[in-house]
Structures are given as C-alpha cells and as structure tokens.
Structure 1
Amino acid sequence: MSDVDIDAYFERIGFAGSIAPTLETLQQLHALHPAAIPFENLDAMMGVPVRLELKNLEQKLLYDRRGGYGPEVNLLFKAHVSWAL
C-alpha cells in the first residue's frame, strides 16, 4: 500500500521508532494507536454518513485529529501497519 500517509500516521500516534517488521514494533504501534486516536461516534449521532475509504479515514483521524468509531480506527490501523510491517 503506497497510498498511505505513513508520516502523518506516525506523527499522530507519536511513533518515532524503527520501522522494522518485528514483534516489538507491532506491540509499540498497537499500544500507541488507541492511546492517540480515541473512540468517537459524534458523526453517527449527528447523522453524518461514515466513510470507510482510506482517504476519508486519514482526513478525519489524522489531519482533522478526531477520533472515530470501531471500523474507522481499526481500518486505519490495518492500512498503516500493513504498510509499515
């Protein structure tokens, strides 16, 4: 996946380690992600459609620095961890 903004993702979660495909790296990313990107369901409560395309997830969760609900935060994690590891 070359279309992920890995730099913005790492900045958002506060990751400054080595991008090595190791268990330690995965554990660090897994700990940092939910600590930095909280659960939020404001859009759903306001009737705003949830968009699960990567560009929409990056806009909302990385650039707008908001949280998201389960599928949003998990798909963002999957896309960026798949790229990094």
Structure 2
Amino acid sequence: MSSRMQMLPVPNVNRVVLFFCGLVNLGLPGFGLMLATCIENNPLTFRSHMHIGIMQLLLTLVVIGFFWSFANGVVMIFYSLT
C-alpha cells in the first residue's frame, strides 16, 4: 500500500458501511467521510475526521474539495475491498 493512501483518513467501520460511505463520498463530497465518522463514534478521531469532511464539502466550491473527496472515497472503497 502506498504511503499517500495512508495519509487520507479512513474510519474504522464495517467493510459494507465503508464501501457505502466511499460511494457517498464520490457523489456528495465530504458526506461519506462524515457519515462513516458518525457511525464509527470514536472520540479520538471524531473531530479531525469531521473537520476534514467539512473542509471537503466547503472546498468543493473551488473544485479542490471535489478532487480531495473523490480521492478519499476511492481510498475508502479500496480499504473496504481489501
């Protein structure tokens, strides 16, 4: 696994949930990560993952968030399949 993929946050949830949230993240930037974070309910990573999801959503207005969210969604799907 490449080190770049390890830099993107992936919540520790069920594989099916992670796959679904990855698909949601592809279509609705940031929402998949925020949904998976709420399902994970880990107080140690909750704030950072929620902030990243919100930033993906807000930065969609300047296109950067769309690509960031797309990459994060692909990584979430990849992790769910491995």
Task: Give the TM-score, by structure 1 length.
Answer: 0.38
Structure with the largest fraction of helix: 2
**Bigger Cα Rg:** 1
